[in-house]
Structure 1
Amino acid sequence: MALNMPTFYKRTGSAIVFGAIMLTGLLWPLEWPFLCLVCLINVLCLRDYFRLMQKIDKESLWPGWLPPVIHALSLIIILTFSLRGYDTAEAILWGIFRTLPLVVPVLMMVCTLFKRTALMALMQSIGGLFYITLPMILLVNMRLHDMALPIALIAMIWINDTMAYIVGSFIGKTPFSPISPKKTWEGTAGGALLTIIAAAVYGYLSHTYRMVDWVMLSLLTAVAGTLGDLLESKLKRMADVKDSGNMMPGHGGALDRFDSLIVAAPVVFVYVNWFM
């Protein structure tokens, strides 16, 4: 098949811009560029999430003010956590979890005053905060703890996705899941194995943490990242769309690019806090 040069240039150009923004936020020594990057990812992913939810549940009544309010609330939460510092932010995080059993019933009681469609829209919006904003908060927490952690997490996701695609292209034969027909067991296993090897080599050479920690982080990232990709693929199938958005020409939306990170970040955060 002949190479479509306009499409190739479009994909390459958007990838270069995307990569430059990511590297600036990740590698800049100061904390505010990373915070800006996280806020940008949060807003763009929430936008795609709202689009998918409205396509999935067409009966839900989405007030025009609801998405902007959720966007603003999510940014306020992220900024609050970052300004409070690592220890205080962690304490606030667990405080939120402890109060959820009280907050959720109250919200549901208030929502009964509205139609069911409004209730569903509100609950889906709250779900977006947990699905997208919570992982962004945990990324900020890890950045406050050690700059290397979010960089390593994103690098491992990239290695896993790239190697899974390459291995699957050459030897992939067994379908991994009907949710994502292009994924194969061979590609998935190959991507995870090569990610673990790369992390082990880095752990052996860097001595920043134990090599076993890097191996476990890479394994958890590969598994959780794959599950995150499948989850987003399921949402797109339910919405009957190919891409979550059109943020990156030729690459899809923000949720397409960060689906693995969204699920992997909480898993890595738990391991870092409990075992490292």
Structure 2
Amino acid sequence: MALNLPVFYQRTGSAIVFAAVMLVGLFWNQWSYLALISLIGVLCLRDYIRLMKKIDSASAWPIWLPITIQLLGLYFIAVTYNWLHVKEGTPFELLNYFLPIAFVVPAVMLITGVLNNKNTVNSVMQAFGGLFYITVPMVFMMFMRGNDMIIPIALILLIWTNDTMAYLVGSFIGKTPFSPISPKKTWEGTGGGALLTMIGAMAYGYFSGRYRLVDWAMLGLCASVAGTLGDLVESKLKRMADVKDSGTLMPGHGGALDRFDSLLLAAPFAGAYVYYFMQLPTYVAP
């Protein structure tokens, strides 16, 4: 098959811009990281809402609902960022900042939805689902950087490593389909990608001397297993919506939800492991 140069240039240009934005956001300073995580949260919520509208076309989405849910997501991310600098109490006490807004705003939204239109109730509940699906992982990404900036960066790199290794292994020896949801994935590719990702993570831990090898192995496991499940979840949503991509943010690559679907499930698992099991240094501001 002949190479389609216009498509190739389009995909390459999008990939370069995406990589540049990610590198600046991850490495520049705490403000660029906050901006990057906030941008990912807003764009992924936008794609999620677009999918929900297609999946449940009977539901009504009043103009205030997407705006409110995105502002609520930004609030949770900003509160987490502020807490990481103040460091008052344990992460569980961070809930004291969340709960008042988390109860009042959804209650008002639900009451407004009930009074507005019977189909609006469905869209309000779907919007709440978007907060758990997208905003909670972004909060975990903020929390992990508050402990050590290398952890969320490593998680993202491990997810990319797993995707690449799974593709390569599957291309060479993949024969057994992994799931009907994503027919191109194979058990051989998925298993091989996970194994190589964990080995790569442990190799970095060995040569860098940061943390225990088991910690790096578990981060690699979170990136590969939870990351793969995250990809399958988003693929299922796209099938239900009958679309190829969740959005058109990156020409040739799809939307933000297509780019960060693996991170949405990997981040909570990695964040929980970091908090409960990793021997972390003293808290530092992100």
On whether the aligned pair clears a TM of 0.5, the verdict is yes
Please, which runs of 5 or more residues in structure 2 have no aligned partner?
Answer: 279-286
Note the C-alpha offset of 1:33.
Answer: 0.5
Number of residue pairs matched by the alignment: 275
Note the C-alpha offset of 1:74.
Answer: 1.3
Judge conservation of contact 2:202–2:216 (CA < 8 Å) in 1.
Answer: yes
The CA distance in 1 between the partners of 2:247 and 2:106, in whole Å, is 33
**SS state of the match for residue 184, structure 2?**
strand
The one-letter code sitting in structure 1 at the alignment partner of 2:64 is W
The one-letter code sitting in structure 1 at the alignment partner of 2:79 is T
The one-letter code sitting in structure 2 at the alignment partner of 1:85 is L
Select 2:215's aligned residue among 193, 213, 235: 213
The one-letter code sitting in structure 2 at the alignment partner of 1:165 is Y
Note the C-alpha offset of 1:84.
Answer: 2.2
Aligned residue in 2 for 1:84: 83
Aligned residue in 2 for 1:35: 34
Matches within 5 A, 1:91-170: 91-95=92-96, 110=111, 111-170=113-172
The one-letter code sitting in structure 1 at the alignment partner of 2:91 is E
The one-letter code sitting in structure 2 at the alignment partner of 1:37 is L
Aligned residue in 1 for 2:45: 46
Note the C-alpha offset of 1:94.
Answer: 4.0
The one-letter code sitting in structure 1 at the alignment partner of 2:24 is T
**SS state of the match for residue 176, structure 1?**
strand
Aligned residue in 1 for 2:284: none
Aligned residue in 1 for 2:9: 9
For the structure 1 residues 16 and 220, does the alpha-carbon distance in structure 2 shift closer, same or farther, using more than 3 Å as the test?
A: same
The CA distance in 2 between the partners of 1:84 and 1:95, in whole Å, is 11
**SS state of the match for residue 119, structure 2?**
helix
The CA distance in 2 between the partners of 1:252 and 1:109, in whole Å, is 32
For the structure 1 residues 100 and 179, does the alpha-carbon distance in structure 2 shift closer, same or farther, using more than 3 Å as the test?
A: farther
Note the C-alpha offset of 1:113.
Answer: 3.7
1:248-268, Cα deviation, whole Å (9 max, x unpaired): 010010000000001100000
Select 1:198's aligned residue among 192, 197, 200: 200
Judge conservation of contact 2:141–2:267 (CA < 8 Å) in 1.
Answer: yes
Note the C-alpha offset of 1:80.
Answer: 1.7
Aligned residue in 2 for 1:23: 23
For the structure 1 residues 103 and 64, does the alpha-carbon distance in structure 2 shift closer, same or farther, using more than 3 Å as the test?
A: closer
The CA distance in 1 between the partners of 2:179 and 2:110, in whole Å, is 39
The CA distance in 2 between the partners of 1:27 and 1:147, in whole Å, is 9
TM-score, length basis structure 2 = 0.90
The CA distance in 2 between the partners of 1:92 and 1:240, in whole Å, is 42
The CA distance in 2 between the partners of 1:184 and 1:104, in whole Å, is 43
For the structure 1 residues 105 and 63, does the alpha-carbon distance in structure 2 shift closer, same or farther, using more than 3 Å as the test?
A: closer
RMSD over equivalenced CA pairs, Å: 2.2
The CA distance in 2 between the partners of 1:242 and 1:85, in whole Å, is 38
For the structure 1 residues 16 and 108, does the alpha-carbon distance in structure 2 shift closer, same or farther, using more than 3 Å as the test?
A: closer
Note the C-alpha offset of 1:221.
Answer: 1.7
